[in-house]
């Protein structure tokens, strides 16, 4: 009997339940709760489930005491599964590949047809810089402040890429904050949209976009890649992959590559990237005052980016005699296509016959390009 008792005691001593009762390990319970909350939001509320589900799964697995899924590998010992999966993230391979898939799915026609709309995407970067300076004032280093500020772009791959290059120790918190706010766009943006626009402005109908030739659609990604990469070489990785993906799509001669990049590879990388990001949110580093500061600064960045885009769109509305609906300014954050869908939803509350989805996609794709450029600038200044 004593042998059985000793065996059971040994088994209990190695169990995760026993580990949860030790020291500060209660934090793991909190993180498991956060992971379950994200899963709830993904399944029940359908908030960006393709992103939240794998991130929450990685968070759940990383915070199982004793499981060793994030244990680094050594010459003498095989590491945990999530440790090896995260290598693609630490080596900044996953985010550019995501951009390749996004490019293969994206239609740049709204931006090419109405180039002035790119100014909204530029204005919406204000949240990045505002949050950057706020973070510096709170005592974060330049690298950390830049990584926090990029949350305002609402661009997941760019956020992951920049935080991994400049502040890898904060990547988990920064990425979870970014994707959480992206998922909450339908909740965060509409009140700001109504607060900063009048009912008359929200009812503005915009003219149909002109047709764009295939030649222009092909030249655009090539020209953007060359010009942006020469101007900010550190942006070449993200911009190049985004535009090459779009070139595949617009060329019309590599349908299988387009499908491979935008469907098969895209969803595989999303799973691997989500697991990698979630695995960085271990309880011992995630639950801190620093985390709360990052969450607050990220929300401020997101809100300022939204409002900046709306205010510039209001100015454009005044200058063009009321032809621009200011609501498309909120799509200046690069959360594709969620931000544009929110614009369409709010617009149709005022006028069910008003369709601005394609117009709103212009600022969104412009912001995607803009945020990648800003990331390149930050890397140039602080790496």
Tens-digit pLDDT profile for residues 360-380:
898 988 989 999 999 999 999
Give the closest residue to 192 by CA, choosing from 379, 320, 378, 342.
Answer: 342
Per-residue pLDDT, averaged over 91-97, amounts to 90
Token pair recorded at residue 81: 């599964």
- The Cβ of residue 381 has, within 10 Å, a number of other Cβ atoms equal to 12
pLDDT digits (tens, 9 = 90+) for 168-209: 888 878 887 887 777 778 888 999 999 999 888 888 888 888
pLDDT for 302 equals 85
103 HSE (CA, 13 A, CB side): 31
Sign of CA dihedral 36, 42, 43, 47: positive
pTM: 0.87
Residues with Cβ within 8 Å of 164's Cβ and at least 6 positions away in sequence, in order, are 89, 90, 92, 95, 171
- Beta-strand runs (E) in 32-177: none
Examine the pLDDT at 10 and tell me if it is beyond 70: no
pLDDT for 355 equals 86
Q: Do 147 and 167 touch, CB atoms closer than 8 A? A: yes
The rounded Cα 186 to chain-centroid distance in angstroms is 15
């Amino acid at each position: 009997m004593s042998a059985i008792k000793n065996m059971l005691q040994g088994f209990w001593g190695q169990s995760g339940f026993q580990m949860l009762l030790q020291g500060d390990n209660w934090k793991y319970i909190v993180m498991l709760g956060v992971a379950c909350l994200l899963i709830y939001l993904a399944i029940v509320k359908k908030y960006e489930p393709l992103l939240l589900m794998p991130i929450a799964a990685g968070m759940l697995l990383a915070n199982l005491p004793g499981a060793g899924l994030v244990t680094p590998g050594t010459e003498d010992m095989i590491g945990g599964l999530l440790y090896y999966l995260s290598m693609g993230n630490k080596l900044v391979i996953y985010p550019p590949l995501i951009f390749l898939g996004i490019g293969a799915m994206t239609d740049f026609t709204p931006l090419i047809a109405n180039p002035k709309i790119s100014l909204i995407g530029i204005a919406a970067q204000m949240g990045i810089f505002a949050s950057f300076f706020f973070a510096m004032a709170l005592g974060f280093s330049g690298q950390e402040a830049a990584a926090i500020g990029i949350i305002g772009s609402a661009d997941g791959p760019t956020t992951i890429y920049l935080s991994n290059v400049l502040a890898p120790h904060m990547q988990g918190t920064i990425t979870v904050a970014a994707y959480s706010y992206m998922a909450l766009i339908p909740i965060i943006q509409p009140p700001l949209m109504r607060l900063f626009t009048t009912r008359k402005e929200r009812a503005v109908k915009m003219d149909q976009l002109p047709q764009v030739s295939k030649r222009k659609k092909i030249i655009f990604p090539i020209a953007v890649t060359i010009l942006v990469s020469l101007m900010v070489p550190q942006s070449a990785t993200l911009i190049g992959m985004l535009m090459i993906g779009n070139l595949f799509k617009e060329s019309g001669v590599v349908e299988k590559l387009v499908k491979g990049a935008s469907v098969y590879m895209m969803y595989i990388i999303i799973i691997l990237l989500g697991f990698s990001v979630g695995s960085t949110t271990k309880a011992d580093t995630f639950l801190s005052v620093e985390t709360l500061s990052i969450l607050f600064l990220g929300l401020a960045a997101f809100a300022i980016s939204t409002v900046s885009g709306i205010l510039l769109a209001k100015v454009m509305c005044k200058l063009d005699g009321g032809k621009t609906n200011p609501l498309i300014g909120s799509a200046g954050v690069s959360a594709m296509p969620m931000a544009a869908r929110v614009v369409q939803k709010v617009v149709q509350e005022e006028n069910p016959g008003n369709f601005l989805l394609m117009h709103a996609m212009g600022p969104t794709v412009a912001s995607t390009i803009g945020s990648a450029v800003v990331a390149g600038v930050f890397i140039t200044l602080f790496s």
